[in-house]
Amino acid sequence: MLGDKLRFGAFIAPFHPIEENPTLAIQRDLELVQWMDQLGYDEAWIGEHHSAAYELIASPEVFIAAAAERTKHIRLGTGVSSLPYHHPLMLADRINQLDHMTRGRVMFGVGPGALVSDAFMMGIPPSKQRDRMDEALEVLVPLLRGETVTHKSDWFELSNARLQMTPYSRPSVEIAVASQVSPTGARAAGKHGAGLLSLGATSTGGFNALASNWAVAEEQAKEHGQTMDRRAWRLVGPMHIAETREQAMADVRFGLEKWIYYFREIANLPIVPADADNPVEALINSGMAVIGTPDDAAAKIQQLLDESKGFGAFLFMAHNWADWTATKKSYELFARYVAPRFQDLNVNRQASMDWVKSNKAEFTGQMQAAVGARIVQHMMEKGSENIRPEIVEMITGGAKPPGE
């Protein structure tokens, strides 16, 4: 009996060093999503950031609209929309429009906002961000179901607010809440029966929090009459894959130091291991990143499955550690050699091969008998002049051929 297919995708913040041409960097992000679509990946989630110069996409909705026109199958999510930065009606309307434009391929990832500098520019106290996310989600869920909402807050107001178009996806577009180590996202997901986006799932804190955060979400869901679906749980972590570990480690030296600099010196997200003489080895040894072969990637996925007791999708944290050619190769190797192990893609192929192998003697005998009968028939009708001598020898055992 085949189980549910584990899905794979990417969480594209994105990360681009400051010396790069930003126009070309965004273009390459679009090309990555196109490449993933061709390789059969299931999902791509696009971030929202407004400062610090490294994570360039300000509007995931605009990016998704462009990516949807260039792809056929891959689902596209906001990864994530920072709810305190938007009036809920305006955000719901944009997501609902994308739901129609993509024929249901859009997903709505939400969070409080990762960069304090973004909130600072808008005069939003960091201490208020998570409360505002919770309040916004309270009205976004019914709005995206096509319901009418009235709500008065100290930062937004809704008066008989309703989207003009009923949702394309029913009952609404899929919603997922970002979560890292704290239970904030898990509590919100459970309260609304939404999916869970576990960011930094491979870091020590994130990994250890997997089972506990899911338990928090299930507890909240039970209290609010909701249910949690493990298929809607997505884990995020960085990987780079090559044919050998040595090649993978050489590849990531292209951009890893710049990425580490951003997280240590600029961003306020402590996801990079402490200083080490060899950052590549430090990331590998800490378990935060896979920098290695398809077998290494498969081992990490299995470890996450065991720790979490099951989830629906694994998303690469898109990092641009390697150059573009090596990055594309990494995604290809994973799609070719890792994803099939967790999607039962070759179960029937293996069964078919084993069956034929175990019956090879019988099938070979039947084949030889059938071919031999035709050869004998031809020799009886036309003689053996045009039959290769060794075949005649095999059929007749050295006796004089029929008709001669």
Distance CA 209, CA 335 (A): 28
Give the pLDDT confidence score for residue 380 in this predicted structure: 82
| Helices assigned H by DSSP within 88-227 | 88-101, 116-121, 126-144, 184-192, 204-223
- For residue 19, give the amino acid letter: E
Distance CA 345, CA 349 (A): 8
Question: Around Cβ 20, how many Cβ atoms within 10 Å?
Answer: 14
Give the pLDDT confidence score for residue 404 in this predicted structure: 56
| pLDDT exceeds 90 at position 73 | yes
The DSSP code sequence of 76-114 is: EEEEEEEGGGS-HHHHHHHHHHHHHHTTS-EEEEEES-S
Lowest mean pLDDT among 24-28, 121-125, 141-145, 264-268: 264-268
Q: Considering the chain, what percentage of its residues have pLDDT values greater than 90?
A: 78
| pLDDT exceeds 80 at position 2 | no
CB 187 within 8 A of CB 224: no
Lowest mean pLDDT among 73-82, 195-204, 322-331, 372-381: 372-381
CB 193 within 8 A of CB 184: no
| For helices 22-39 and 60-70, angle between their N-to-C axes, nearest 10 degrees | 50
Nearest to 46 by CA among 130, 106, 117: 106
For residue 316, list its beta bridge partners: 10, 237
The whole-angstrom distance between residue 55's C-alpha and the CA centroid of its chain comes to 19
- For residue 271, give the amino acid letter: I
To the nearest whole number, what is the mean pLDDT of the chain? 92
Question: Around Cβ 93, how many Cβ atoms within 10 Å?
Answer: 17
The whole-angstrom distance between residue 180's C-alpha and the CA centroid of its chain comes to 17
The 10s digit of each residue's pLDDT in 94-109 is 999 999 999 999 999 9
Nearest to 14 by CA among 34, 1, 30: 30
Question: Around Cβ 311, how many Cβ atoms within 10 Å?
Answer: 23
Mean pLDDT over 24-42 rounds to 98
CB 99 within 8 A of CB 164: no
For residue 9, list its beta bridge partners: 43, 315
The 10s digit of each residue's pLDDT in 239-297 is 999 999 999 999 999 999 999 999 888 986 666 666 667 889 989 988 899 999 999 99
Token pair listed for 357: 């192998």
Distance CA 162, CA 145 (A): 10
Q: Is 385 exposed, middle or buried (0-12, 13-18, 19+ CB in 10 A)?
A: exposed
The 10s digit of each residue's pLDDT in 165-220 is 999 999 999 999 999 877 889 999 999 999 999 998 887 767 777 888 899 999 99
Q: Longest C-alpha distance within the chain, in Å?
A: 106
